[in-house]
Amino acid sequence: DMQMTQSPSSLSASIGDRVTITCQTSQDINNYLNWYQQTPGKAPKLLIYAASTLQSGVPSRFSGRGSGTYFTLTITRLQPEDSATYYCQQSYISTRTFGQGTKVEIK
């Protein structure tokens, strides 16, 4: 089974801050890693695929990096609308799995 571990599980930051979330996988997945954002009461939204490719329409303050087993999602200049839970998800094996989520709150 592929294990995916996100950290931290939650964080609180101020408007304008730089925020970084990490995702570690139990196996080498190359760069087959996606990131999603979920705001309360809404369906998830794709932010980044292939570890670093920004989905169309996603603000450029979001960026992703990593390969192998270690990945990061960074939000530069945090905005109020970025208050959400963020999930990583691997697409390396056919049984997809998600990290447990990171809740980002605005101070």
Q: Minimum CB separation from other proteins for residue 16, in Å?
A: 28
Using CB under 8 A, which residues numbered 49 to 68 contact other proteins?
49-50, 53, 55
The alpha carbon torsion through 41, 98, 58, 65 (nearest 10 deg) reads 150
End-to-end Cα distance, the chain: 37
Give the integer Cα–Cα distance in Å for 104 and 94.
29
- In terms of Cβ atoms closer than 10 Å to its own Cβ (0-12, 13-18, 19+), residue 94 is exposed
Instruction: Please select the residue that binds other proteins; options are 13, 46, 54, 106, rule is CB under 8 A.
Output: 46
Instruction: Please select the residue that binds other proteins; options are 38, 72, 74, 76, rule is CB under 8 A.
Output: 38
Instruction: Please select the residue that binds other proteins; options are 3, 26, 39, 100, rule is CB under 8 A.
Output: 100
Contact residues for other proteins (CB under 8 A)? 1, 32, 34, 36, 38, 42-46, 49-50, 53, 55, 85, 87, 89, 91, 94-101
